[in-house]
Amino acid sequence: MNLENICRQVIDLTKSVGEFILSEKNNITHLNVEEKGLHDFVTYVDKTAEQKLVDGLTKILPEAGFIAEEGTSVKKGDIYNWIIDPLDGTTNFIHGLTPFAISIALMENDKIILGIVHELGLNECFYAWKDSPAFLNGEIIKVSETETIENSLIATGFPYYDYKRIKPFLESLEYFMENSHGVRRLGSAATDLVYVACGRFEAFYEYSLSPWDVAAGAFIVQQAGGKVSDFKGENNYIFGEEIIATNSFVFDNFLNNIKKIMIN
């Protein structure tokens, strides 16, 4: 299997679907926004974009199944499965804000072997495949070389509906606000992750996440030289609903603080 060739075909697909998403940006009103759950929104743009992605990815790799946010396809592959989010940052999108992104990962058995995050607001496509560097619009990217949390810029995301851990989460915000260059909340986990990969952030953490939020971005972070784990320092971050992603220098210290604050 030529993963580089597959990756480039998927990039072309994200560009086409991205053009559709951007063309609909000014047509979104409250009349065509649905609420899947508390503060969890979806539009016809998400659904149509996902269908376009499923159709295109099926042509690229017919044997693969799907883990897709909007459930357009429930096909499960014996070996290969695409993990896709057609529009990560829907709330931003419906309010006319950026970032919002297409996120696509290819999983072989239980390992991610390819990831693409195409952030549409700045037209930045981040991607990598197994054994490759990480790229941004054709240029190799790496995580930052910042060595301390005190000199780091940190990203996070706010829970939409799962507030069971809100008290320790707010405690973590207070700690990192006082002990870093600052904390940012952009509203797209996929974008947060690739911003770690290219050195714009030193660290990202969030809980109450889904596989399609993190699979591609986490892989790109690793290919860019970063480290990824769940809040316990283990590898259950794709399906475990929580993630830490950092450069290679601050990981241990960052993880220890998350363990101390977020793990009861």
Intrachain domains 3-140 and 149-262 with the same fold: no
Phi first, then psi: what are they for 125, rounded to 5°? -110, 115
Count Cβ atoms below 10 Å from residue 107 Cβ, excluding itself. Answer: 23
- Quickly list DSSP for 115-138: EEEEETTTTEEEEEETTS-EEETT
Residue 40: its pLDDT value, please?
A: 53
Residue 103: its pLDDT value, please?
A: 98
Q: pLDDT tens, position by position, for the chain (264 residues)? A: 899 999 999 999 999 999 999 998 888 766 566 665 554 567 788 899 999 999 999 999 999 999 988 787 888 989 999 999 999 999 999 899 999 999 999 999 999 999 999 999 999 999 999 999 999 999 999 999 999 999 999 999 998 777 888 999 999 999 999 999 999 999 999 999 999 999 999 999 999 999 999 999 999 999 999 999 999 999 999 999 999 999 999 999 999 999 999 986
Domain positions in the chain: 3-140, 149-262
- Alpha-carbon distance values, 150 to 83, 162, 175, 217, 234 (Å): 35, 29, 11, 24, 24
How many Cα atoms sit within 13 Å of 190 on the Cβ side?
32
Which amino acid is residue 52, in one-letter code? K
Give CA–CA dist 254/146, Å, rounded: 13
> Cα dihedral sign for 195, 201, 203, 206?
negative
Among candidate residues 157, 255, 259, the one with its CA nearest the CA of residue 210: 157
* Cα-based angle 238, 161, 182 (whole degrees, multiple of 5): 70
Residue 37: its pLDDT value, please?
A: 52
Phi first, then psi: what are they for 255, rounded to 5°? -60, -45
- 114 SS3 class: strand
Tokens of 22: 């951007």
Residue 22: its pLDDT value, please?
A: 96
Residue 46: its pLDDT value, please?
A: 87
Could you tell me the pTM of the whole model?
0.94
Domain 149-262 has CATH 1.10.4160.10: no
Give CA–CA dist 46/50, Å, rounded: 6
Give CA–CA dist 211/103, Å, rounded: 10
CATH number for region 3-140:
3.30.540.10
Give CA–CA dist 255/228, Å, rounded: 10
Residue 82: its pLDDT value, please?
A: 98
Give CA–CA dist 201/210, Å, rounded: 21
Cβ atoms of residues 104 and 87 within 8 Å: no
Chain center to CA of 16? 20
Cβ atoms of residues 149 and 180 within 8 Å: yes
Residue 81 pairs with which residues in a beta bridge? 65, 107
